[in-house]
Amino acid sequence: MTHLSRLSAVEAARKLAAREISAERYVNACLERIDERERDVRAFAWIDRERALARARELDAGPVLGVLHGLTLGVKDVFDTWDMPTQGGSKAFEGYRPQHDAGCIAYARKVGAIVLGKTVTAELATFPANETRNPLNLAHTPGGSSSGSAAAVADFMVPAATGSQQFGSLIRPAGYCGVVAYKPTYNLIPKRGVWANSDSCDTLGVIARTVPDAALVASGMIEYPGLRAFVDRANDVPAPRIGLCRSYEWDRCDEHMKAAFEGARAALAGAGAKVAEVVLPEGFRGMAEAQKLVSNFEMGRGFSDVVIRFGDRLRKPLYERSVAGLAITGEAYQRAQALGRKCRQLFADALGECDVLLTPAATGEAPKGIDNTGDPIMNGVWSFLHAPCVAVNGGFGPNGLPLAMQVVGRLDDDARTLACAHWVHRHLGR
């Protein structure tokens, strides 16, 4: 019999709604798994066992509240929660307790989700790593900045967890840990109550173990019927039209990722997908640098108070990067923003007749060591485009760790992007 903590989010939600299992029993199963593995994986910054169990008992005694009834959720430690600290993985915010939930967390609780705890983030959702390990190999990074969310889901501690992405903070850690991430179209999930880095790029999303799981949890955070409709028909998705996109950052990928990409092409074409090469317009060549400039400009100014009053509590690389962001001129920022707007207008036509693009989610497998969360170069362009992206596994590297791909769709075409990603995930056989 499958241990309850290993149920998919869709299956667990179905059993909880049908009262085949109690929320209390389900929460205890997740806590049992955490007790087994948390000492090694270190996915959580805060766990509130008694509050979670008390909430589970309340749900068991009352009516089914909604699509996430009784489902446990890990919450990245930059999402405000009224009943737990939000510390951002930084000494600058030790002990900070907000009075309100982030909007998306409040809505998830309204439809029955149980917040089990706060998952570890790289400092202030940027790049200095904290203590989380990759559960597939504890000597390797889980990626960042949504480090704990990816590790907790991959290690069966929770079925899903929230994350945020400025550069590659959802897609890359999920890819490194062999699970799924859904980064929606920009601002589809409202950001109120989630700590900002770069308002032009920051996007909230979900990490889960399957594409329908991620869509289900996202549908519990927002009113977006297309997500729920996809979950209900996930097994009836036709073969998509897929554009293979190497992007202008392709040379940063290692030989193993490049080989996995070619293997994915063959596997998907063999399964019935229509596969074509897609070359992005020349203007996209500057998008990675433009995204970095915009992010650093906005982050430097957004972190001003922290830098001025609590700079000695920030780790040195983050402090220096924030200060450097203040040196970027408004004129350079406006030019970068203009390029982003232009490329967003070109992007739908660039896909041609393809439903989605397939492109590497990282430069290779998760690097060894936990001080470096990996290179986000394969993600930043898509974050700046505001396009929906889904990370799925596409093979394995020399250390036996995943080589992830990302499925990228048109802006506001999230339901189709998820459906295509699900088809890809199933037919890559991972």
CA gap 14, 308 in Å, rounded: 50
Write out the DSSP string of 161-175. EEEEESSSTTHHHHH
Residue 224 is predicted with a pLDDT of 85
Residue 21 is predicted with a pLDDT of 98
* Cis before 145? omega within 30: yes
| Locus of tokens 């074409």 | 269
Q: Is 76 a residue of the active site? A: yes
- Say which of 5, 90, 149, 169 is annotated catalytic: 169
Cα dist. 229→118, 357, 387, 410 in Å?
29, 22, 20, 18
Q: How far out from the chain centre does Cα 303 lie?
A: 23
Residue 225 is predicted with a pLDDT of 82
CATH topology assigned to domain 4-234? Amidase signature (AS) enzymes (3.90.1300)
Residue 111 is predicted with a pLDDT of 98
Instruction: Tell me whether residue 305 is exposed, middle or buried, using C-beta atoms within 10 angstroms of its C-beta: 0 to 12, 13 to 18, 19 or more.
Output: exposed
Q: Is 169 a residue of the active site? A: yes
- Say which of 76, 118, 183, 191 is annotated catalytic: 76
* Per-residue 3-state assignment (H helix, E strand, C coil) for 285-305: HHHHHHHHHHHHHHHHHHCHH
Segments of the chain assigned to CATH 3.90.1300.10: 4-234, 236-285+336-427
User: At a CB cut-off of 8 Å and minimum separation 6, what does 185 contact?
Assistant: 203, 386, 387, 388, 411, 412, 413, 414
What is the chain's pLDDT, residue by residue, as a tens digit (430 residues)?
569 999 999 999 999 999 999 999 999 999 999 999 999 999 999 999 999 999 999 999 999 999 999 999 999 999 999 999 999 999 999 999 999 999 999 999 999 999 999 999 999 999 999 999 999 999 999 999 999 999 999 999 999 999 999 999 999 999 999 999 999 999 999 999 999 999 999 999 999 999 999 999 999 999 888 898 999 998 888 999 999 999 999 999 999 999 999 999 999 999 999 999 999 999 999 999 999 999 999 999 999 999 999 999 999 999 999 999 999 999 999 999 999 999 999 999 999 999 999 999 999 999 999 999 999 999 999 999 999 999 999 999 999 999 999 999 999 999 999 999 999 999 996 5
Q: Is 5 a residue of the active site? A: no
Residue 306 is predicted with a pLDDT of 94
For 36, the enclosing helix (H) or strand (E) is helix 23-41
CA gap 411, 244 in Å, rounded: 18
Structure tokens at 358: 């397939």
- Say which of 5, 90, 118, 145 is annotated catalytic: 145
CA gap 74, 150 in Å, rounded: 10
CATH classification code of 236-285+336-427: 3.90.1300.10
